[in-house]
Structure formats: structure tokens, C-alpha cells
Structure 1
Amino acid sequence: MTKNLTLAIEDELLDRARIIAAIRRTSVNAMVREYLEREVRREGDDARRADAWAAFFRETGTPRSGPEAGEGVKFDREELYNEVLRERGLL
């Protein structure tokens, strides 16, 4: 279901947004909707990524902060980079 939303923005900003929308052959409405979709998706991605890293540290027994941080299982830089690359689907 689609809902209507009323926004209050400055005239100059709206004029410039309309120009950009025309160049992109879309509408200001579509631009705002796409922006909000991107932000919501990114927020979800960030939360999933944080959960994944928290699980990683829990599983390895490596504290993320506090006086115990750095004790326990050690990882070298390359191993952590590889973990990030795997997370991003690059490895």
C-alpha cells in the first residue's frame, strides 16, 4: 500500500531537485522514494553487519572492548581483511 507524504522544503531546493529529476527523466517523488529505500536498506545492512561481527567475536572468544580486549584469540591483519572481503563477497 502506498501512502502520501507531505514535505516542507525550501523553494530553491525544490527547484534544483526538479531540474535534476528532469535530467534523470524521473520525478522528485521517485527520487525521494529511492533515497528513503536506500537509507532503510543501508540501515538494515549495517545492523546485519554489526550482528555478524558480534557473532564472530562471540564465537572466537575475542572481546571487542574493555580490559579483556586483546587477550584470548589473536588475529593477524590479513585474516581480518580476508574476513571483510568474504563479507563483501569479494573472496
Structure 2
Amino acid sequence: MKNVTVTMEDSVADWARMEAARRNTSVSRLIGEMLAEKMRHDDAYERAMREALEFKSIGKSDGRYPSREAINDRSLDRQSP
């Protein structure tokens, strides 16, 4: 483990001391746990974003969107099978 010095506003330090006491831990451990959670959250977000950007649609497409007319063409719905 590494020791670091953190500079913060007095009001933030007061909150951190009270929050650490409420959780029955030290301010140092509280900050370390908060940063570790932030790191896990950011890593999960980055992974999900990468997977979403790599997503390939199922089926074939010529890359063009259908026209409004084609989407709303109700005559296809009226044809019997």
C-alpha cells in the first residue's frame, strides 16, 4: 500500500471525518475505498462502452435506413399469407 497526502477544503475534511466515524473506519481507508469504487465503476463503464461500440447487428443490411413510406406502408399488413 502507498501513503499519499491529500489536500481538501476544511468542510470536506470535516465531512470525511464524520463519515469515517459513522462507518467505523479511518479517513484514509474511507478515501481509499471511495477511490477503488470509482475505479471499478469507471472500468466497468469503459468496458460496456467498448462492447456497445463493437456490437454488430444481426442480419444483413445495405447500410441504408428504410424510408418513412416503407416503414408506414400498411398495404403489406393487409396482404393475406
Structure 1 residue ranges without an equivalent (≥5): 62-67, 73-91
Total equivalences in the alignment: 62
Pairwise CA RMSD of aligned residues?
2.1
Q: After the TM superposition, which segments of 4 or more aligned residues of structure 1 sit over 4 Å from their partners? A: none
Q: Percent identity?
A: 31
Single out whichever of 4-13 and 30-39 deviates more from structure 2.
4-13
Find the counterpart in structure 1 of residue 21 from structure 2: 22
TM-score, L = length of structure 1: 0.58
User: What TM-score does the superposition give when structure 2 sets the normalisation length?
Assistant: 0.64
Partner deviation per Cα, 1:18-65 (whole Å, 9 max, x = no partner): 112111101111111011111111111011101111121xx228xxxx
Q: Unpaired runs of 5+ in structure 2?
A: 67-81
Give the number of the structure whose alpha-carbon radius of gyration is greater. 2
